[in-house]
Structure 1
């Protein structure tokens, strides 16, 4: 958050893509207060909905808005053992953490490539350390029993691999991925209770 506030204070413009209107508006207000700037824009997009992401990308691109840095921090961890599908029939964890990130990132590459020193940062999770990439079951249909924590970890592993692939495919853009550190979230509590 401090990095974003610093960027705003030094003249940067921030576009936040949030699913929740309430939480997005709360974050917007917080950033405006901390930065003293109104140069922050809120866009409501459900990252588990490919059509919504594509519509946002098309609108953003058609507006001619410049983009220097894209930070992908969307993520969902479905607790428990119930495999949940989105309205589009996609497994929710994969749709949000992998497919949504891919659609947003690949859709905004042309905008990034027109910027000076463009960067993409994909926030992953230490959970990916417990998973090897498994391309045979991207939507977790073959699991004997769905495990939300393992699905989350697998999608976070996918993000790391996607980042490396983007770096090769789009050399004009610098790609990074990072694990932000351990946080006391419901996911951590779930992992620690096993």
Structure 2
């Protein structure tokens, strides 16, 4: 994968892709490149006006659909309609994410901590509700967007919704650890079930979006330095999107693989296989989180 760029994306004609959070940042670049290479891309966005504006900037075959990952009702409605309109789904890129600032704990429409709800639980439910459509496609993939902040995060299964001692930046790290655990546990369960769906993970390092610098503000002195450096420490969004585009399209990618930048502690540079934290890779933690996500979302699969 040395020197891999978006120009090396294989032909995507005849493939249907859903990209959550596709109206800006990493999601917009991902949707743009997939469409440029021939895919029919569904921009799954909370703000459809912003989605339509983004779609007009994309040279290719797109459609915009409303999806609020912080509302299980919205997730179910989106999945139900998409499942009818696109019986075979080739690619699901669980890209959307939210980072909160300040001391106030915010909750989703279903009463969950907002970052955990949006970044992990909404995507867990969406993936399960679209599983049959993915299984009907040829060589389908699910890509979950992780973060290097997952490496030092921890989950408190006695307080998954962070009701005690809430800190927004810490909650973000926890949500990204949960997303990473989900992607790996999904891979294990797909293999066990014999389903031909690859669950792959990627992270963008430190990329010039409105999310990454804020996610580092709680990482102690080093994190504060990184956050303040801002543009100097980050790479362009077009480069930051390469790991997830590689995970989504490159030939030979296997379920359970994790891609990120190769340089400077995985913060920037060419695409390579990234390192997982021990907690993210622990199957026992994966099973426990899966059971909790089933219970919280009411979506049961695999």
> TM-score, normalising length from structure 2?
0.58
Deviations 1:92-151 (A, max 9, x none): 111101110101111111111111111010111111122133322211112x2x111110
The answer (yes or no) to whether the contact 1:79–1:187 under 8 Å persists in 2 is: no
Instruction: Determine which of 36, 40, 56 is the counterpart of 1:9.
Output: 36
User: What is the aligned length?
Assistant: 187
Residue segments in structure 2 that go unaligned for 5+ positions in a row? 1-27, 218-222, 226-302
Aligned counterpart, 2:99: 77
Query: Match for residue 134 of structure 2?
Result: 112
Equivalence map 1:34-183=2 (5 Å) = 35=59, 37=60, 39-142=61-164, 144=165, 146-171=166-191, 172-183=196-207
Q: What is the match of residue 213 of structure 2? A: 188
Higher relative contact order, chain-length normalized (CA < 8 Å, sep 6+): 1
Instruction: Please show how residues 24-43 of structure 1 align to structure 2 within 5 Å.
Output: 24-31=51-58, 35=59, 37=60, 39-43=61-65
**1:15–1:42 Cα contact (<8 Å) kept:** yes
Asked whether the equivalents of residues 20 and 44 of structure 1 are also in contact (C-alpha less than 8 Å), the reply is yes
- The 1:53/1:179 distance shift into structure 2, 3 A limit, reads same
Alpha-carbon distance in structure 2 between the residues aligned to 1:179 and 1:71: 12
SS at 2:154 equivalent: coil
Gaps of 5+ in 1: none
What SS does the corresponding residue of 1:121 show, helix, strand or coil?
A: strand
TM-score normalized by structure 1? 0.88
1:2 is displaced (CA, Å) by 5.4
In 2, distance between residues paired with 1:88 and 1:173? 29
Deviates more, 1:178-187 or 1:92-101: 178-187
- How far 1:63 sits from its partner (Å)? 2.3
Partner secondary structure for residue 170 of structure 1: helix
Deviations along 1:33-84, whole A, 9 cap, x unmatched?
xx2x3x2010111110001101111111122442111100111111111111
How large is the Cα RMSD of the aligned pairs?
Answer: 1.9
